[in-house]
């Protein structure tokens, strides 16, 4: 497959990073080893997307609101890993001119982890490069509920009328307000579902699925997904010129 021109690249890539536990089991390792290796995949894919320049947004599904059902020992490890990632990756984030944002509800996340996350967000705010959007304690339905609550509050306050609500109004009240919708959704580990991820924003996203588990996902796989995306014709419900 020929290398696509940068103007054919997706501007916004979203990733459901699946298969950490399965990868670890295949290696005869504990599940937490898969999460540790998954962090390495986050690093290399984030750096490669930033290097490409034409990719403006990278959104990673780090922890879903449903993941809190997992064993407490695994959740504790994930929180420690997240907090350490925020510390360890600051130099890389700054060197690559990346801006960090969080998508999701803050409530259940430990205060010390939030403090490290907020510090990284603040440090990177003045950067001018790619946005790294980390979906943490994120759920697509919860996001829509929060948006509806915010809109309802504005209606009660007389700042908004119900007849004035349109699609843009809803988009403006999502966690991703001001962020263009993903052009490309990548899902690893061969699963064929979107798992409550960006339910509103993925309406016209191209979907690319690989059997590779997330710890195995590398720069070559990323470019394979981008090349496949570049070869597709996006009509957004319309017709082509033929």
Q: Specify the pLDDT at position 107.
A: 86
The long-range contacts involving 194-198, CB below 8 angstroms and separated by at least 24 positions, are 194/16, 194/140, 195/16, 195/61, 195/64, 196/64, 196/65, 196/66, 196/139, 196/140, 196/141, 197/14, 197/16, 197/61, 197/64, 197/135, 197/138, 197/140, 198/14, 198/59, 198/135, 198/140
Per-residue model confidence as pLDDT tens digits over 34-52? 999 999 999 999 999 999 9
Q: Average pLDDT for residues 167-186, to the nearest whole number?
A: 98
Q: Tell me: pLDDT of 206 over 90.
A: yes
pTM: 0.93
Query: With bands split at pLDDT 50, 70 and 90, how would you rate the model's confidence at 236?
Result: low
Could you tell me what percent of the chain has a pLDDT over 90?
A: 88
Binding residues for Mg(2+) are 18, 206
Q: Average pLDDT for residues 63-82, to the nearest whole number?
A: 90
Q: Specify the pLDDT at position 179.
A: 97
Binding residues for substrate are 19-23, 31, 35, 64-66, 68, 70, 187, 193-195
Which domains can be identified in the chain, with CATH numbers? 7-139+183-230 (3.40.1180.10)
Q: Tell me: pLDDT of 168 over 60.
A: yes
Q: Specify the pLDDT at position 241.
A: 54
Binding residues are 18-23, 31, 35, 64-66, 68, 70, 187, 193-195, 206
Residues that are catalytic = 18, 67
Q: Tell me: pLDDT of 242 over 50.
A: no
Q: Tell me: pLDDT of 222 over 80.
A: yes
């Amino acid at each position: 497959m020929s290398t696509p021109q940068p103007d054919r690249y997706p501007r916004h890539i979203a990733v459901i990073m699946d298969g950490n536990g399965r990868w670890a089991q295949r290696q005869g390792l504990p599940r937490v080893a898969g999460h540790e290796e998954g962090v390495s995949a986050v690093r290399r894919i984030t750096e490669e997307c930033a290097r490409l320049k034409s990719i403006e947004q990278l959104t990673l599904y780090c922890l879903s609101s449903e993941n809190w059902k997992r064993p407490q020992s695994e959740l504790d490890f994930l929180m420690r890993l997240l907090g350490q990632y925020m510390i360890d990756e600051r130099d890389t984030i700054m060197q690559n001119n990346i801006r960090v944002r969080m998508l999701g509800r803050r409530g259940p996340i430990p205060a010390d982890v939030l403090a490290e996350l907020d510090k990284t967000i603040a440090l990177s705010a003045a950067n001018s490069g790619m946005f790294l959007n980390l979906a943490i304690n994120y759920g697509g339905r919860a996001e829509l509920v929060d948006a509806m609550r915010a809109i309802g509050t504005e209606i009660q306050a007389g700042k908004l009328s119900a007849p004035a609500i349109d699609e843009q109004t809803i988009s403006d009240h999502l966690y991703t307000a001001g962020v263009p919708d993903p052009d490309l959704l990548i899902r690893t580990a061969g699963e064929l579902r979107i798992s409550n991820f960006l339910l509103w924003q993925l309406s016209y996203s191209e979907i690319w699925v690989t059997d590779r588990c997330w710890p195995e996902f590398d720069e070559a796989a990323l470019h394979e997904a981008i090349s496949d995306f570049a070869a597709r014709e996006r009509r957004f419900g319309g017709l082509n010129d033929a």
